[in-house]
Amino acid sequence: MCLENLIAHASSEDHSGTTDTGGSALLASAVAPYLILRLALPIQTYVADQPLRGKRPQPLSELEELLFSLEAIGKLRLSSDILDGADESLSSGATHFTLLYPLLIKAMAAASDPWSGAAEVRVPLQNLLAKL
């Protein structure tokens, strides 16, 4: 629930900077790098563990966290002024994809592997990458 609230706050469109008395833009820009790191951790774990796991199923708690992270990445809408170092040529709200794209490609390769891949992860990854 806390992570969902952070995502909603960082994705809100009312970051007006100077007229913002609550410091919403400042808080969103402070939280954005840590939020992206938090969403990337389950994907990094999947990329590292899945080839070693083989055909054994992924633990349910890890799978649920991974699927939640993939869904949250798709819902996240960060403006380019909040996230430093992001590509501004992407559509509005999709600037975080520039940081996560290499990791998502590695996860897609692990999920597509015929020996250790899993369709339950591959399909959400394909849907997420198709949004670009």
Cβ within 8 Å of residue 90, ≥6 positions away: 97, 98, 132
pLDDT in tens, 104-113: 999 999 999 8
- How many domains are there within the chain? 1
Position 87 pLDDT exceeds 80? no
Average pLDDT, the chain: 81
Predicted confidence (pLDDT) per residue in 32-48, tens digit:
888 999 999 999 999 99
% residues pLDDT > 70 (the chain): 80
Task: Give mean pLDDT, residues 81-99.
Answer: 64
Q: 10-19, 74-83, 93-102, 117-126: lowest mean pLDDT where?
A: 10-19
| Residue 13 near residue 76 (C-beta atoms within 8 A) | no
What separation, in Å, do the N-terminal and C-terminal C-alpha atoms of the chain show? 27
Angle at 47 between CA 63 and CA 6, to 5 degrees: 60
| Residue 96 pLDDT class (50, 70, 90 cuts) | confident
What is the span of the domain harbouring residue 103?
2-130
pTM: 0.80
Question: Over 90: is that where the pLDDT of 55 sits?
Answer: no
